[in-house]
Chain A
């Protein structure tokens, strides 16, 4: 596909995204799209490090959770405005990324060992968040006060008591903004020198190093960028739900969501995490509706399907849904 065609496609997609709240009046459907976008952001964060860099993290919750905790605690403990807390929260994602990256990459951890150490860090942060009660409130979690003053909507960055349209779409636009910024960043990264170096490290780290690529630096940049985007997703989460606890922040659920979406959508592609998130959520929602109608609501069903789809995609679609679309496009005669 030519670049112009791709850009046109993205602009149409972005326009649809911006128009969605005007076209969709049902709060439930908009919420569904909003959560899909949230997972697509988490997935894109993972995709930078895992998809482009080949470093599979099993503990991406550590970045999401730290961003969420910093955003919540700066407001809760020090009365920061959410706008002032935001840069600190995003920087904390980069900071944790730098710490984990420095230790793992300096000591040459690759493949499964890198996956294990990220998992261990997420678990260590979960234990710390539970234990250092004087800072984090421990297992009870941090609750932010709900703003009920419609005049303070923008200063508190809370849309629950805003005027009807913002109440309908405020949080949706918040995550859409994060998503558009993150996807533009990855789009530009893919076409930059840094992106090419990152891909070369994924393909063959030793060969890349032999050609003069500083693999350590490249991986450090990738993990920091990845951490920042995951932390931004954490900021959105806290502003929307006004609550975070150790399980939500550092439990395995977010780490799994972050990696499943890009793998199913297509590793190392800009559109992959969005495709994966949309596909998974649609399937999960349909299954929940169908089974729910048969035997009443039961937890777990959507995740059973995620697991199955993950295994099937790994087995039969190594390039994910994006690869499938790409070959379909070629077969139709496009891209000549």
Chain B
């Protein structure tokens, strides 16, 4: 890392905290899937923490975010408290979505998280709409949508990029390129580079080559956010990163679709270790302070797991609420 904006130490430490929250939350969630506390499966963001946190920390309160199936990192990156998120994964009454969303459909409107999506690419135009409301209402907020290299081949992305560009909407299209759509290598199903597609829509395209460096991501997204807030329209940011674990927990794929040398190279670029080294080398924090910070987050994650496990199950009647904003007769539903 070379020259950097002189961010306050507290901001840098908060980046590390949020990356650690994602890492430890997802490690804990993985264990809870194995032990049967979490029904179904989860998709972890382990290895991609810098890409998530660098982007989220470049936003401001009031900004909006939509995500995808790799879904826990985004709300955590936006600052969502861990307890209701973990309780949602377990399916408890205290879940952030009352137990009706689960891992794939986390949303925490209190921090601008408008919802993750189990349908690849589906939440992209939702962020464009958040940009539209900002523009019409004259509010200086921006919207970011996270999507993967797989979603980059969905037509809805290009309809959305075109609309955002034509209307100069304050939107950041953030492609989390972790090189694989489940088991399919991105380069085998993608013509050209994703970032180059921005030019076709008359918007800037920026590729963050080392998406494991949180400050690299932060700088790219900060610039995109500033541009959007100025009224100059959307930006496509492609962040090169890697998921350290399997596509989803418990998934066993017999074909080794990821090259061992490639995997080793990326595993050596652990965003949390890299940033810790950066902080200590720059004299922003001592080793003991970083140890304490890690211990505090580990405790926070333990507490959120306990909270989730000990929380009550939802009342069964909750399954028949929240479909519409107004009252409706259950007789017409059942």
B is bound to A: no
